Amino acid sequence: MERHLDVELKDLKDKLLLMGGSVESQLQDALQALTERDSDLAVRVVENDLSVNKLDVEIDENCLRLLALHQPTAGDLRFITTAMKISTELERMSDLAENIAERAIELNREPQLKPYIDIPRMGNWTSQMVKEALDAFVNRDAALARKVCKDDDVVDDLTEQLFRELVSFMLENPRTITRAIRLTFIGKYYERISDHATNVAELVVYMVEGKIIRHMSAEC
């Protein structure tokens, strides 16, 4: 017979995956809003942040209720505190998707500065990291989580490359400055989303192995 706690833990996991799915959609939509210059879609991304925030609060309340009522220990305790923290990370990714959509709305009001090549690459790469970090969580897969941590370096390199390219645009033609800076910000947002995905992955390693690997780059 299933313990009552197990049923509740499954509900918690499902809610977290629902939130994760919602954030993944927001990220894809924010990228599409930029590359296809679709500001209506960008507005929807901004609006959708509200439902993610709602899930964040619900998950937090669920976790506290589970801690108070069931006084879990060992693996269950780690699962619940990890869920609580993953929810915070997802909520911040959603804020960043909203920031990308806001910059897209501003950029879509002006002629496109350049064909977007690195940004879709960063967008797809970070979405993949988010997806894999959540898969690692669901399947308690520490190896996959460690892969996500490593993938973070690729996004850092792409951000640096984008930054250098945009500075050369600005130097050549000062009229591109405002647009180039907005694109630089988008690069930074992706860098941060990738950092949050890495945080999730580190939390998964902790949940599975009981080992805190954050702040230990050699471990991850």
Residues near a second copy, by CB under 8 A: 50, 53-54, 56-57, 60-61, 63-64, 67-68, 71, 73-74, 77-78, 81, 84-85, 88, 167, 170-171, 174, 177-178, 181, 184-185, 188, 212, 214-215
Looking at the Cβ atoms of 36 and 212, the one nearer to a second copy is 212
* 186: its two tokens: 């988008």
Shortest spacing between CB 38 and a second copy, in angstroms: 26
Shortest spacing between CB 20 and a second copy, in angstroms: 18
Looking at the Cβ atoms of 36 and 57, the one nearer to a second copy is 57
CB of 48 closer than 8 Å to CB of 18? no
What is the separation of C-alpha 74 from the centre of its chain, rounded to a whole number of angstroms?
27
Looking at the Cβ atoms of 32 and 163, the one nearer to a second copy is 163
DSSP conformation letters of 52-103: HHHHHHHHHHHHHHHHHHH---HHHHHHHHHHHHHHHHHHHHHHHHHHHHHH
Looking at the Cβ atoms of 44 and 78, the one nearer to a second copy is 78
Angle at Cα 132 formed by Cα 49 and Cα 51, nearest 5°? 15
Shortest spacing between CB 215 and a second copy, in angstroms: 4
* 14: its two tokens: 């499902």
